[in-house]
Copies of this chain bind each other. A is one copy, B any other.
Amino acid sequence: MADMPADGPQVSRLSNGLPVITLAMPGIRTAAVELAADVGARHEAPHENGLAHLFEHMVFKGTGRRSARAIAEDIEDVGGALNAWTSRDMTMFHARTLAADLPLGLDMVADLIVSPRFDAEDLEREKAVVHSEIGEARDTPDDVVFDHLQARAFPDQPLGRPILGTEDSVSAATVAHLAGWRARHYHAGALVLVATGAVEHERLLADAEAALGRLPAAGARTEIPANWGGGPVGEARRIEQTHLTLGFAGPGGRDPGYHAALMFAMALGGGMSSRLFQQLREERGLAYSVSAAHGAHEEIGVMSLYCAAKPADSEAAALLAMEVAHAAAADLSAAELDRARAQVKAGLLMGLEGCAGQADWLARGWLTFGRLYSAGEALAEMDALTVDDVRAAGRAMLASRPAIAIVGTRGDRLADRLATRIGR
Contact of A141 among B81, B125, B139 (CB under 8 A): B139
- Mark interface residues in A236-252 (1 if CB within 8 Å of B CB, else 0): 00011100000000000
How many residues of chain A have a CB within 8 Å of chain B?
78
- Mark interface residues in A242-285 (1 if CB within 8 Å of B CB, else 0): 00000000000000000000000000000111000110011111
Contacts of A272 in B (CB 8 A): 60, 71-72, 75-76, 82
Check if B73 sits within 8 Å of A273, measured CB to CB. Answer: yes
In the assembled complex, A378 has its CB within 8 A of some CB on chain B: no
- Provide the bound-state CA to CA distance between A194 and B312, in Å: 43
Residue among A126, A130, A343 with the highest chain B CB neighbour number at 10 A: A343
Q: How far is the CB of A127 from chain B (nearest CB, A)?
A: 8
Known interface pairs A342-B76, A346-B30; A135-B241 also in contact (CB < 8 Å): yes
Check if B273 sits within 8 Å of A346, measured CB to CB. Answer: no
Contact of A132 among B29, B241, B282 (CB under 8 A): B241
- Provide the bound-state CA to CA distance between A361 and B68, in Å: 34
Known interface pairs A29-B349, A354-B353; A241-B343 also in contact (CB < 8 Å): no
Contacts of A344 in B (CB 8 A): 79
Contact of A285 among B29, B125, B134, B335 (CB under 8 A): B125
Contacts of A76 in B (CB 8 A): 271-273, 339, 342-343
In the assembled complex, A331 has its CB within 8 A of some CB on chain B: no
Check if A128 sits within 8 Å of B28, measured CB to CB. Answer: no
Contacts of A134 in B (CB 8 A): 240
Check if A349 sits within 8 Å of B98, measured CB to CB. Answer: yes
- Provide the bound-state CA to CA distance between A355 and B349, in Å: 13
Known interface pairs A73-B273, A98-B349, A139-B240; A342-B132 also in contact (CB < 8 Å): no
Check if B73 sits within 8 Å of A339, measured CB to CB. Answer: yes
In the assembled complex, A129 has its CB within 8 A of some CB on chain B: yes
- Provide the bound-state CA to CA distance between A28 and B355, in Å: 13
Contacts of A421 in B (CB 8 A): none
Check if A138 sits within 8 Å of B72, measured CB to CB. Answer: no
Which chain A residues (106-142) contact chain B, with CB distance < 8 Å?
124-136, 138-142
In the assembled complex, A80 has its CB within 8 A of some CB on chain B: yes
In the assembled complex, A401 has its CB within 8 A of some CB on chain B: no
Contact of A98 among B98, B131, B346 (CB under 8 A): B346
Check if A288 sits within 8 Å of B342, measured CB to CB. Answer: no
In the assembled complex, A97 has its CB within 8 A of some CB on chain B: yes
Q: How far is the CB of A33 from chain B (nearest CB, A)?
A: 14
In the assembled complex, A310 has its CB within 8 A of some CB on chain B: yes
- Provide the bound-state CA to CA distance between A341 and B76, in Å: 10
Check if B343 sits within 8 Å of A79, measured CB to CB. Answer: yes
Q: How far is the CB of A279 from chain B (nearest CB, A)?
A: 11
- Using a CB–CB cutoff of 8 Å, the interface residues on chain A facing chain B are 1, 25-30, 60-61, 68-69, 71-73, 75-82, 96-98, 124-136, 138-142, 239-241, 271-273, 277-278, 281-289, 308-310, 335, 338-339, 341-347, 349-350, 353-355
Q: Told that A125-B282, A132-B309 touch, could you supply 11 new A-B pairs with CB distance under 8 A?
A: A29-B353, A72-B282, A81-B346, A97-B346, A128-B285, A134-B240, A136-B240, A139-B239, A139-B240, A353-B353, A353-B354
The 7 closest A-B pairs by CB, nearest first: A79-B346, A79-B342, A135-B240, A72-B273, A128-B285, A125-B285, A72-B272
